[in-house]
A = this chain, B = another copy of it.
């Protein structure tokens, strides 16, 4: 964006104002669909940000002055979980960054992303969100890699498999995936139905 002599081209999280007649959830969906072509995606609110000093650096203040925008903005953050092979980016100004290689971001967007990432890391341990990031039919190694990526850790493959296969809602298919690697890999699905039936017993607390 060009404001007289100063060019402002910081990266920002995709966002927009909430429209008069839409819910927050609908706004989040609309914004996602503006940039990405897909049928459906998991989205979840993680936090609202409304500190009065959210906009502190001079570039951001200049930007807001030029647009005559009220400097007190309340943003409600939503995370979206997208299966990498099921969508297409729609917009040339949009770019993906690995979580540990973020560019400099405008406003408090670095903090927001950090908040979202920590939220996701906790949530993925206690709810079956991980399957939102995998194709319907997945291999155990794909599942492990997804966890390792989000949690930023390495896991023992044998113990991981044992742990996962104990879950009744991870269902063995009579099908293997070929081609992707040398040895064909066994496919599984996540059964939401079985999960929902089992989950009521869970009250193992860790606290």
Contacts and interface: CB of A to CB of B under 8 A. Distances in A.
Contacts of A51: 23-24
Interface residues of A, number: 33
A204 B22 CA distance: 39
A76 to B, nearest CB: 5
B20 A203 contact: no
Interface string A34-67: 0000000000010111111000000000000000
Contacts of A76: 48, 50, 74
A97 interface: no
Interface string A139-175: 0000000010001010000000000000000000000
A49 B52 CA distance: 20
24 contacts: A18-B50, A20-B72, A22-B52, A23-B50, A23-B52, A24-B49, A24-B50, A24-B51, A24-B74, A45-B47, A45-B48, A48-B48, A48-B76, A74-B76, A122-B126, A124-B205, A124-B207, A125-B204, A125-B205, A125-B207, A126-B205, A127-B207, A202-B206, A204-B206
